[in-house]
């Protein structure tokens, strides 16, 4: 067995910034205006938050065209979730090997799915914090992400899917506790037994399994969640993933910085917010994102 050294996990500054936003939403001493400024200063988080606020699930007559409007519409719980998703996405994008990146992208969708279903299962346990359970579900595969990040130092060992599978079977994964400490999430480093049990049970509902290993609960009991609710959560997970990784902001962003004045900007799919000198509205995508948003409209409106 080739153990992974228990050294510190390299965490890019962009990931730390997103984690800082996520942690700030849990601190009652931090004013909402401060969080607005933090979000506005991180283009990836700001763009993802605006996309979510203007998605089919939250659509309204007037679009949210500022960070403050998006936060007002969604609430701090969604800001926390979006910041966590962006942190995970930045980790995925830091994996340079093509095969390893493919596995990591699939694992991200899996993690988002587990997060939503674990949070749903937590509804039946009033003593549990649903938001915390959902966040734990999102980060539960961090040891595997850490393994895949090893492709940056040893690309030949991660050159193909078969090679990655062999590495995953031969190496001891770094502990979740140490990785969460490295990420700046010590409060999530040691989940409670009942929280871990819900995350395990959530695997029975996901349609996007871990691409490297089958979880023993994937064939488990699915009776705790109504079938129609399962469909909604599955669609929600896919829409959240696609909106996070490729969906454009569907309208002009009129305010990006909370206190620094108006900053016209647009979102380039696959990139960050970029300033523009004239009004430009990105054309809506007609691919998977469009289909998922249409599905969500049908689910939420009953059309």
> How do the domains of the chain map onto residue ranges?
8-93+250-303, 96-225
**Residues 205-261: tens digit of each pLDDT:** 999 999 898 899 998 999 999 999 999 999 989 988 988 887 544 443 333 333 333
Instruction: Give the closest residue to 138 by CA, choosing from 101, 110, 176, 178.
Output: 110
Specify which residues 253 forms β-bridges with.
Answer: 265
**Residues 132-177: tens digit of each pLDDT:** 999 999 999 999 999 999 999 899 999 999 999 999 999 889 999 9
Considering the entire predicted model, what is its pTM? 0.77
Q: Which are the contacts of 260, defined by CB distance < 8 A and separation ≥ 6?
A: 40
| Confidence bin at 64 (pLDDT 50/70/90) | confident
- Cα–Cα distance for residue pair 259/35, rounded to 1 Å: 12
Alpha helices (H) along the chain: 13-24, 32-40, 43-53, 67-74, 76-93, 98-121, 130-139, 142-149, 161-170, 176-183, 193-202, 227-245, 288-301
Long-range contacts of 1-4 (CB under 8 A, 24+ apart): 1/170, 1/171, 1/172, 2/170, 2/171, 3/171, 3/172, 4/146, 4/147, 4/150, 4/171, 4/172, 4/173, 4/174
């Amino acid at each position: 067995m080739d153990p992974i050294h228990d050294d510190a996990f390299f965490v890019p500054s962009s990931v730390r910034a997103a984690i800082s936003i996520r942690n700030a939403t849990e601190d009652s001493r931090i004013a909402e205006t401060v969080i607005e400024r933090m979000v506005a200063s991180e283009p990836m988080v700001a763009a993802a938050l605006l996309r979510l606020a203007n998605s089919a699930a939250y659509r309204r007559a007037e679009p949210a065209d500022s960070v403050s409007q998006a936060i007002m519409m969604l609430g701090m719980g969604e800001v926390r979730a979006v910041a966590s998703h962006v942190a995970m996405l930045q980790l995925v994008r830091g994996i340079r090997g093509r095969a390893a990146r493919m596995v990591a992208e699939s694992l991200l969708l899996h993690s988002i799915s587990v997060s939503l279903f674990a949070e749903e299962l937590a509804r039946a346990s009033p003593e549990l914090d649903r938001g915390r359970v959902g966040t734990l579900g999102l980060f539960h595969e961090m040891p595997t992400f850490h393994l895949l990040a090893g492709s940056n130092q040893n690309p030949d060992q991660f050159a193909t899917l078969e090679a990655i599978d062999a590495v995953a079977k031969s190496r001891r994964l770094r502990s979740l506790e140490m990785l969460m400490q490295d990420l700046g999430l010590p409060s999530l480093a040691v989940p409670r037994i009942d929280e871990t049990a819900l995350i395990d049970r959530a695997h029975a509902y996901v349609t996007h399994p871990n691409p490297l290993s089958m979880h023993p609960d994937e064939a488990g009991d699915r009776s705790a969640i109504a079938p129609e609710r399962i469909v909604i959560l599955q669609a929600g997970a896919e829409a959240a993933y696609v909106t996070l990784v490729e969906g454009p902001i569907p309208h002009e962003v009129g305010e990006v910085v909370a206190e620094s004045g108006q900053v016209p900007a647009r979102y380039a799919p696959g990139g960050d917010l970029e300033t523009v000198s004239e009004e430009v509205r990105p054309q809506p995508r007609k691919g998977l994102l469009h289909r998922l948003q249409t599905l969500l409209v049908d689910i939420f409106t009953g059309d």
